């Protein structure tokens, strides 16, 4: 399938996904653990952050698409707003590592961008949509591993500001 057809299907899936809840997980549930490779070559897993800091896991549909590029740019340009909190943030998609690495380099991403090409973690988080890409959903996971908030109303241009506002609303401590 060529890239144009893939992007058209992605657009259609995003419209369909917007009409239905992306996840059956709920606030208060234990977040599924994961171990995924990031664009920096390291592996990241939820258990690394337990007892240490809040984890913001922002799922996005596909590298190099308009909304995903806007979201990434927001996090690059205004990530300092998020770093004011005792929290770590990362983006995740089902793109293969090479696509994500290229995307991260082009966008100058200074945070981990996780790749889930097997789609197992996306399935565990119940974000895999009809065309088998992740829906745009951000999970706020507390130090104890429970889901504090699930945000399905993402505004890519203001992603960093929105994440910082959510961290404040959730009462996440400021970084020292």
> Over the stretch 100-130, which tens digit does the pLDDT of each residue have?
899 899 999 998 999 999 999 999 999 988 8
Adjacent-strand bridge partners of 73: none
All residues at 6 or more sequence positions from 100 whose CB lies less than 8 Å from its CB, including other chains = 38, 39, 63, 93, 113, 114, 115
Residue 88 has pLDDT above 80, yes or no: yes
* Least trusted range by pLDDT, from 15-19, 25-29, 42-46, 56-60: 15-19
Is it true that domain 3-169 has CATH number 3.40.30.10? yes
Cα gap 37→155, rounded to integer Å: 26
- Give which of 139, 128, 131 is closest to 91, Cα–Cα: 139
SS3 98: helix
Predicted TM-score (pTM) of the model is 0.85
Taking residues 25-40, what's their average pLDDT?
Answer: 95
């Amino acid at each position: 399938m060529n890239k144009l057809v893939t992007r058209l299907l992605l657009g259609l899936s995003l419209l369909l996904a917007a009409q239905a809840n992306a996840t059956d997980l709920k606030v208060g549930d234990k977040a599924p653990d994961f171990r995924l490779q990031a664009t920096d070559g390291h592996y990241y897993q939820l258990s690394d952050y337990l007892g240490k800091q809040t984890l913001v896991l922002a799922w996005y549909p596909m590298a190099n698409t308009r909304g995903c590029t806007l979201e990434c740019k927001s996090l690059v340009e205004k990530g300092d707003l998020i770093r004011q909190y005792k929290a770590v943030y990362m983006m995740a998609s089902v793109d293969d590592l090479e696509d994500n690495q290229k995307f991260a380099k082009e966008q100058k991403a200074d945070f981990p961008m996780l790749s889930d090409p097997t789609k197992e973690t996306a399935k565990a988080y119940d974000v895999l949509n009809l065309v088998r890409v992740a829906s745009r959903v951000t999970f706020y996971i507390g130090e104890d591993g429970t889901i504090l908030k699930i945000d399905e109303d993402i505004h890519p241009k203001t992603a960093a500001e929105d994440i910082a506002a959510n961290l404040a609303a959730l009462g996440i401590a400021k970084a020292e």
